[in-house]
Structure 1
Amino acid sequence: MKLPSDSSLVELVKKDDHVAYTTLVDRYWEDLYRHIWLKIKNTDDAKDIVQDIFLGLWKNRSTLMADDRGSLAPYLFRAAKYNIINYFSRPSITIADETALDLAVNAISTTQADDQILLKELQQLVDSEVDKLPERLKLPYRLSRDQELSIKEIALKLSVSEQTVKNNITSALNAVRFKISKHNNSDTTVSFVLALACVLHCK
């Protein structure tokens, strides 16, 4: 028996078909959960994010669209990306993983072209705030962002532990994020979160 395509299920969901909606949930739940968990390493929060994605899908079903190939995957994994970005934008969340931290520091230069204008202005603002940081926070940030050194290389260069480097860069990111948020500009704040996010890669 041939399984229904995503595009056909989407059309049914637009007509408030709960069975079609459940089919999409069953089809993508596990892949979305695995993708999100690998990024945030928190089981309960990963499940919550997946649930939020599918609740959002149902809430916005009238505008739901499959891609040119008839797949809903790009929509769902894009939603996952932005939900993870929001997760890491929480003040209580720190970026502890080295790979994620490296991505967070260098993300501005790898963001897609349609964000470049906003991010150019944002980068100037970020640079200004970084310059105001204490030297112990500013130096490791600059070594990572400007010289593209790894956490290990920075630790060796500064004669400190790798954990200290991670802590200091995370503190720098959080401090700058807090300063930016005080500008009360929603577009800028969202762009800043995008720039610092450690998950700019959709499936």
Structure 2
Amino acid sequence: MKYQNLSDESLVDLLQQDDPTAFELIYQRYWRQLYGFVFQQLGSKEDCEEIIHDLMLSLWQNRALSQIQNLKLYLFIGARNLVNKSIKSRINLRKYLEYKYLNDVFETVGPNEFSNITELHQAIENAVKKMPEKTATIFRMSKMDNMPVKYIALKMELTDKAVEYHITKSLKILRQQLQNFNSDN
């Protein structure tokens, strides 16, 4: 039987019957398209490879239970879901790190050191004025305007990693300047 000429539906039927050759052909037929799709979303070779590996592993492990009507659609929806999961975990990690940085700032300075909220806002604004222009802009977009990293990256024509670098840099500057503010009083 020539597998190359089989339709997706036939390959899915063979896959459900534990045929490893059908699985290999599905992989060969779709990996480039999936790689391009995932890379466009994440921009990382390693992340693409991991997501495609996880997707194909899931396809193989769930072959007997799956009810695939349209193989291409099934694979791309699965890839999209894994990309979303990856982005969500990165966002949660980034938010945790930002929380940790801000928490460190307030542990060092202590919220009781500020006589009122206006004084705190003024101290933050003074710290932002001492940041490099791009870092300050990204800080404002992220922390004051609550914009997501991906949106900032698109708007500023930067990579997500560059935006995250500027956010981290701004939080370090903020911590340093608020410590200076505390010692000035």
Give the TM-score normalised by the residue count of structure 1: 0.46
**CA offset at residue 79 of structure 1?**
0.7
1:79 aligns to 2:78 (yes or no): yes
Note the aligned Cα RMSD (angstroms).
3.6
More helix by share: 2
5+ long unaligned stretches in structure 2 = 96-123, 126-139, 157-162, 172-185
1:40 aligns to 2:42 (yes or no): yes
Could you say which residue in structure 1 is the equivalent of 2:130? none
Distance 2:94 2:34 in 1: 22
Which amino acid counterpart does residue 144 of structure 2 have in structure 1? L
Ranked by relative contact order (alpha carbons within 8 Å, sequence separation 6 or more), the top structure is 1
Q: How does 1:49-198 map to 2 (within 5 A)?
A: 49-67=51-69, 71-91=70-90, 139-141=144-146, 151=152, 167=167
**CA offset at residue 56 of structure 1?**
0.1
Give the TM-score normalised by the residue count of structure 2: 0.50
Which amino acid counterpart does residue 65 of structure 2 have in structure 1? T
Runs of 4 or more above 4 Å deviation: 91-95, 134-138
Could you say which residue in structure 2 is the equivalent of 1:160? none
Could you say which residue in structure 2 is the equivalent of 1:101? none
Compare CA radii of gyration and give the structure with the larger one: 2
**CA offset at residue 85 of structure 1?**
1.2
Asked if structure 2 preserves the Cα contact closer than 8 Å seen for 1:12 and 1:20, the reply is yes
Distance 1:73 1:36 in 2: 14
Shift in alpha-carbon separation, 1:63–1:4, aligned structure 2, 3 A: same
Aligned length: 114
Could you say which residue in structure 2 is the equivalent of 1:193? none
Distance 2:32 2:143 in 1: 40
Indicate the SS of the match to 1:61. Answer: coil
